[in-house]
Amino acid sequence: MRHTLVALMEDKPGVLNRISSLFRRRNFNIESLTVGHSETPGISRMTIVTAGDKANIEQVEKQLYKLINVTKVTDVTDEPAVIRELALIKVTASAATRSEITSLVDIFRAKVVDVAPDSLTIEITGTEDKVDSLASLLRPFGIRELARTGRLAMVRGNNGQKN
Partner 1 sequence: MKLSGAQIVWESLVREGVEVAFGISGGAVIHLYHALPEYPIRHVLMRHEQAAAHAADGYARATGKVGVCMATSGPGATNLVTGLATAYMDSSPVVAITGQVSSALIGKDAFQEVDITGITLPITKHNYLVTEVEALPMVIKEAFHIARTGRPGPVLIDIAKDVQAASLEYEYPEEVSLPGYRPTLVGNQRQIKQAARLINEAKRPLIIAGHGVMLAGAEAELRELVEKAQLPVVNTLLGISTIPESHPLCLGMGGMHGEAYANKALQEADLILNIGSRFDDRLTGVVSTFVPEAKIVHIDIDPAEIGKNVPVDLPIVGDAKNVLQALIPLIEPASHPDWISKIGEWRAESAERDILEQETDALVPQYVVRHIWHATGGNAIMVSDVGQNQMWEAQYFLHHKPRGLVSSGGLGTMGFALPAAIGAQIGRPEEMVWATAGDGGFQMNIQELATVVQEKLPLKMAILNNGFLGMVRQWQQLFFEGRYSGTPLLGPDFARVAEAYGIPGFTVREKNEVIPAIEQVMATDGPALIDFVIEQEENVYPMVAPGGSIGDMLRRPRIEELEIRN
Strand extents, DSSP E, 11-158: 32-37, 43-51, 70-75, 81-92, 111-116, 119-126, 143-148, 152-155
Whichever of 39 and 65 has its CB closer to partner 1, that residue is: 65
Residues near partner 1 (CB under 8 A) are 9-10, 13-14, 17-18, 21-22, 25, 55, 58-59, 62-63, 65-71
* CB of 71 or CB of 102, closer to partner 1: 71
Shortest CB 65 distance to partner 1, Å? 7
State the minimum distance, in angstroms, from the CB of residue 28 to partner 1. 12
Phi, psi of 61 (to 5 degrees): -60, -45
Distances (CA, A) of 28 to 16, 19, 24, 134, 152: 15, 11, 6, 30, 19
Minimum Å gap between C-beta 162 and partner 1 is 13
Could you tell me if 1 and 28 are in contact, meaning their C-beta atoms sit under 8 angstroms apart?
no
Nearest distance, CB of residue 45 and partner 1, angstroms: 14
Q: Based on CB atoms, which residue is closest to partner 1, 71 or 133?
A: 71
Measured from the CB atom, is 19 or 124 closer to partner 1? 19
